[in-house]
Amino acid sequence: MIAILDYGFGNVRSAQRAFSRHGIASEITSETQMCIEADGLVIPGVGAFAACMDGLDAVGASAIVDARLVANRPTLGICVGMQVLFTTGVEHGVTRNGLAQWPGTIEQLQSDVLPHIGWSEVQVAGGSTLFRGVTNERFYFVHSYAAQKWEIEPSESLAPAKVTWSEYGSAFIAAVENGPLSATQFHPEKSGDAGATLIENWIATCR
């Protein structure tokens, strides 16, 4: 069963429909134990970083994510649901702490035209599980902010994260696969067949 975290922000129904197309049961919920114990947890997100974090704090998301990672249970952030996994977000002069699973700051894209809306190519990380079978596809983005640096240094004791990049004005992080924690800046549920394959690949990690 896939739990879709309900904290007042994000296209939760779109996410649920995406899993239903794969014949996977999912539930939109903020109940702590269900979110911790589900085979997979999805953190969607639409809107401002600070507002999303207020909603996440209200449902105890930090403790939920921590518990899942300790138990090695897959978790997927989508769009702002990816952004909040970083340390800090800065939007319109407002600085807000994130869930701090990864060091880094979410900042405005370096482009004259914002938001970034539409289909863009990605430079897939070597050995990616999420992008298996869709390494040369485009994905659908809707955002003005992103992480533009990956700040975790390689470690001898931990497998390196797989970081996928895209570009809009300048380079930004399009997806991360880091142990049981994964995220995409784009919307796989709106990315056609390529997005459906990516969702299927993630579902396979939940079994």
Active-site residues: which are they? 79, 187, 189
For residue 103, how many other CB atoms are within 10 A of its CB? Answer: 14
Residues facing residue 102 across a β-bridge: 86
Task: Return the amino acid letter for 90.
Answer: V
